[in-house]
Amino acid sequence: MIQVTIDRQDSRISQFEMSGHAESGPYGYDLVCAGVSAVSFGSINAVMTIAGTELAIEQDSDGGFLRVTVPSGLSEDVMNKVQLLLEGMLVSLRTIERDYNTFIRITEHEEVL
């Protein structure tokens, strides 16, 4: 199962982490894994291109782990773009979770500063 954890600070996504494997089909034919990968990496690329900011990215060589951290100190305009793109990613991931909830689980944690 893919575990997705969304960390928020004052309602803003500060970090997300994905770990595990969906195992919803044979290697190379796993639609849940392909969907989650496409949504997450597409969103990362969109943030870096549209918002013009780098993200701290950690990943495992086997594809079973991804952690992305939003840098602090961004201007309000850039942060708003980053948040809009990441919230869009979360909507897409929740759609996958709704239809394939035996293969992906999303949890959120809120920290109020």
**CA 3, CA 83: separation in Å to the nearest integer?**
21
Active site residue 109: no
| Known catalytic residue at 96 | no
Read off the tokens for 51: 């918002």
- Domains detected in the chain: 2-111 (3.30.70.1490)
Residue 63: per-residue pLDDT: 81
CA dist 61 and 12 (Å) reads: 29
Tens digits of per-residue pLDDT, 15-74?
A: 999 999 999 998 888 999 999 999 999 999 999 999 999 999 999 988 889 999 999 999
| Amino acid type, 88 | G
Which listed residue (15, 21, 69, 100) is catalytic?
21
Entry pTM: 0.93
Cα torsion angle, 25, 58, 54, 84, sign? positive
Catalytic residue of the set 2, 13, 33, 47: 33
Nearest Cα neighbor of 14 from 72, 73, 88, 75 is 72
